[in-house]
Amino acid sequence: MTQVPQFSETDGPGKVVAAAGEWLASELSDGFKYLRSKRQISRKAAGRSETIVLQTSSWSRTGEGTWVYPRIMVSDDRLRKWQAERQLRGMFATGGFIFNSLVVNLGLADLELFGPLHERPDGNRISLVQFRDSVLADIVPNLKLLRGSPAVAAERLPARWIVFPEPPFWWATAYGDHAAAKRFLARYFESKPAEQKQFETGRRLAQPEAVNNMMVAFGWSAVHSGALRAGDTI
C-alpha cells in the first residue's frame, strides 16, 4: 500500500484530483493507469476499456473543497462496431458501452478529496481511502464479471448494476447471446413495470420518428435491429 496523498488549502482541484487519480491507479494495479488529461483511471485490454472517471464538481474551489462524482464506464470495440452498422435509437445506441453509470446509482457515495466535511462525514460523501476500499470490494469484482460472457453476467451481476438495460442488452446481442440479452431485460423490468410498458410500446412502432422517450426508442431499436421480434416474450 502506497502512502495516501494529503492535501492543503493551497492545492487547487486539478492538483488534488491528479494526485488522487495516480494513487488510486497504483492501488488498483491490474493494468489500471491514470490519464491526467482526461481525469480517468483506465484499463485497456483485448478491445475492452474499463474506466473510472473522476468527474469533478463545479463547486470545487482552491481552499474550499474538492469533490468528485465518480463514474464507471466499460466499453467494447466489437459492440461499438456492431452498433455503428445499425440504425439504433436511445441513450446508449452508440459508444459500445457495456456499462456506464455514476457510482451513486450503485449505492456508493460521492467522493470528497478535500473539504469541510472531510473530518465530519455526513453520509453523502466518502474519503479517498473509503472510495478505494469500495472500488476493491464492489466495483473491481463486477468489472471482472463483465470481462466474462454475457450469459454469466446476466445471472450473476448484482441487480443494482443493471442501472440501465440498454448497455448489457446490446452487449449480449452483439455477441450473439439473445437469451442473455432477454435475461438482462427481464431482471431490469422486474422492478420497473412502467418502463416495460414504454419498451413494449416502442416494439410496436413502425417508425421511430418523433420518439422522445428513451425506453420507447430502445424498444423500437430492439425490434428494428433484429435483437427481438415483435412477439418475443421477455
Domain boundaries, the chain: 1-147, 150-234
Sign for the CA dihedral angle at 7, 8, 11, 12 comes to positive
C-alpha–C-alpha distance, residues 115 and 83, integer Å: 42
What's the confidence (pLDDT) of residue 14?
Answer: 85
Predicted pLDDT at 121: 53
Q: Are 100 and 73 in contact (CB under 8 A)?
A: yes
CA 136 – CA 199 distance, rounded (Å):
35
Residue 53 β-bridge partners = 40, 71
Q: What is the pLDDT of residue 211?
A: 67
Is the pLDDT at 170 greater than 70, yes or no? yes
Place 200 in a pLDDT band, splitting at 50, 70 and 90: very high
**Among 167, 42, 45, 166, which residue's Cα sits nearest to residue 99?**
167
User: Does the pLDDT of residue 81 top 80, yes or no?
Assistant: yes
Could you tell me which residue, 170 or 116, shows the higher pLDDT? 170
In percent, the amount of the chain with pLDDT more than 90 equals 71
User: Is the pLDDT assigned to residue 230 strictly greater than 80?
Assistant: no
Find how far residue 58's CA is from the centre of its chain: 21
Residue 226 is predicted with a pLDDT of 93
Give 3 or 43, the one with higher predicted confidence.
Answer: 43
Distances (CA, A) of 5 to 24, 107, 114: 10, 25, 11
DSSP secondary-structure letter at 95?
Answer: S
Confidence of residue 117 (pLDDT cuts 50, 70, 90): low
| Residue 6 CB coordination number (10 Å) | 9
Q: Higher confidence at residue 55 or residue 86?
A: 86
Close Cβ partners of 210 (under 8 Å, ≥ 6 residues apart): none
Cα angle, residue 51 at apex, residues 50 and 54 outer, rounded to 5°: 170
Q: Looking at residue 205, what is its pLDDT?
A: 85
Q: Per-residue pLDDT averaged across 30-56, rounded?
A: 96
HSE, side-chain direction, 13 A CA sphere, residue 103: 25
What confidence score (pLDDT) does residue 142 get? Answer: 98
* pLDDT band with cut points at 50, 70 and 90 for residue 1: low
What integer pLDDT is reported at residue 59 of this predicted model? Answer: 77
Average pLDDT along the chain: 91
Question: Would you say residue 213 has pLDDT above 80?
Answer: yes
